[in-house]
Amino acid sequence: MAQAARPHHGLLSFLDTDGKPHPVQNAFAVTTLVIGAIAFVTAHFTQLHLVSSWTGLVGMITGAWGQLISATTGERFVLIIGLGAAGVGFYLGMAHGGLFGGVLG
């Protein structure tokens, strides 16, 4: 039970609930969350449909890959929040003009 008494240090230590560091998985989780937030916020402005649709697409791809390699429940929780925000941003961006709306013809 000595591992339970050991304090976790670091900014993202709440993602490592098994006591082992997972830098790649944590990077995917935080990246998906940040990209999803950008896609979600920009989706509320119709003139930013290119930004919201592309960042939403990238966020869904990184979130899906992060889900495949995630190791802990904390990582999966952050990934699902980021995936949801990226999905909303992507679909609203597609509704406002799409990935190439007005640029290619």
3 domain-assigned: no
40 domain-assigned: yes
89: its two tokens: 């941003």
Per-residue pLDDT, 14: 72
39 domain-assigned: yes
Domain, as residue range, for 56: 22-96
Q: How many domains does the chain have?
A: 1
pLDDT category, 92, cuts 50, 70, 90? Answer: very high
The larger pLDDT score, comparing residue 64 to residue 20, is at 64
Query: Which tens digits make up the pLDDT trace of 32-84?
Result: 999 999 999 999 999 999 999 999 999 999 999 999 999 999 999 999 999 99
Q: 34-54 in b/e burial notation, b at 16+ Cβ within 10 A? A: ebbbbbbebbeeeebbbbbbb
Measured CA to CA, the distance from residue 67 to residue 64 in angstroms comes to 5
Per-residue pLDDT, 5: 54
72 domain-assigned: yes
Per-residue pLDDT, 3: 57
Measured CA to CA, the distance from residue 9 to residue 15 in angstroms comes to 11
12 domain-assigned: no
14 domain-assigned: no
87 domain-assigned: yes
For the CA atoms of 99, 58, 39, 84, the dihedral, rounded to the nearest 10 degrees, stands at 120
13 domain-assigned: no
